[in-house]
Structure 1
């Protein structure tokens, strides 16, 4: 039997998978990770990036595979943070790279044209240079100060985000300190989507948090 809710979500995600982008918290254990992702997907997140900064590739693969199983059939793309090898090993839907990771030109050759490739942007020069790179979207970091990212190079703020969106032909995902209180101002920049860690991962109910954020977004569209 067809599930109309699932079919609508799959269709919407193909149109704009970046709208509500969950980035997982690598400090949460795997059982918490699975619960958070399952609830967040039920609440309406449109993309999930698995983040792992501990350096253990076996653990990283285990966590990505656990999330992949949850996302199966939902239409929500699975993105691997930093590691092209892990993304290839698990056949993820894409990879998100930072400025100190593998060059995006090489990453594109390895993952092929049919996978999503994102790049973190931390200053104006990187934003300008990204126009000629083989990426699908940009993650603009950080919009606001955030406890989950301590090595912030630039705090863009709403004005900087708005200017970046106007400059770039690529979809921009805003990340860093975004929550229900500042979401309206962020969305007013016409950004393609927002990436969230704490606002969903640390919520008492990740499902309700995601649902509330989606509802808030849809009122602004």
Structure 2
């Protein structure tokens, strides 16, 4: 049985993390309450992804927080990462599952109800739904869906969902009200002066909303 907690899902961004770096940002953020970490670096080579992934695995060791690799199946397999996340334009989800085996967590980005309905729960473990809002961290994103769109897509998705795209701690209420299991954050933690405090603030808001 795969166990993972989508409630506060950190997607790392090399540029936003700046001089602090992705590894130290992740370490501090996990101390503040982040429950999953995704390494996303579209400009990195597979070798660079593996090197950063190894450093992240070391930083997260003992925390119980899964490390998810974005898009790069080869890196995910080489690292024996906890999971892989792919988009609609990446390798087909069924192929990804075949490559990574049955134990790895597989996440998939979905932007519409139709895509959510097509999700095969024997292949995909969770979906990332969005963008909820426009976001500068992914300039090529699809049209923002808002909270109403989020709720509609969550309703037809056969697996747990995490909301992504400009979401911050203040959005925890409507995100959970829409049926999502968590928030995927980028700039709300990456690039903040104190990633631990930023993560803790969001985690506390999530806890308040869930109560």
TM range (shorter): over 0.9
Q: How far apart are the structure 2 equivalents of 1:30 and 1:118?
A: 29
Distance apart, 1:29 and its partner CA: 5.6
Change over 3 Å in CA distance of 1:92–1:132 after alignment to 2:
closer
1:118 aligns with 2:107: yes
Whether the aligned pair in 1 keeps the contact of 2:121 and 2:159 (CA below 8 Å) is no
Aligned partner (choices 24, 29, 40) of residue 40 of structure 1: 29
Separation in 2, partners of 1:153, 1:171: 21
Residues 190, 123 of structure 1: CA spacing in aligned structure 2 closer, same or farther, 3 A cutoff?
closer
Who is 1:10 aligned against? none
Deviation at 1:187, TM superposition (A): 2.1
Q: Which whole-Å CA distance do the structure 2 matches of 1:102 and 1:155 have between them?
A: 23
- Which of residues 15, 20, 30 is equivalent to 2:8? 20
Deviates more, 1:134-143 or 1:119-128: 119-128
Per the TM alignment, residue 62 of structure 1 is displaced from its structure 2 partner at its CA by 1.1
Q: CA offsets, 1:158-197, max 9 Å, x none?
A: 0011112222221011000001332322222121111111
184 and 160 in structure 1: CA distance in 2 versus 1, 3 angstrom threshold: same
- 2:56 match: 67
- Paired with 1:132 and 1:71, the residues of 2 have a C-alpha distance of 28
- The number of residue pairs the alignment matches comes to 208
CA distance in 2, matches of 1:124, 1:98: 15
Q: Is the 8 A contact 2:6 2:181 kept in 1?
A: yes
Q: Larger deviation: 160-169 or 96-105?
A: 160-169
RMSD: 1.7
In structure 2, stretches of 5+ residues that fail to align are none
SS of corresponding position for 2:119: helix
CA contact (8 A) 1:123 1:153 kept: no
**Offset of 1:91 from its aligned partner?**
0.6
Structure 1 residue runs of 4 or more that deviate by more than 4 Å after TM superposition: none
| 1:200 CA drift (Å) | 0.5
Which shifted more, 211-220 or 120-129? 120-129
CA separation in 2, counterparts of 1:188 and 1:216?
14
1:208 aligned residue = 197
Gaps of 5+ in 1: 1-12
Q: Which residue does the alignment assign to 1:137?
A: 126
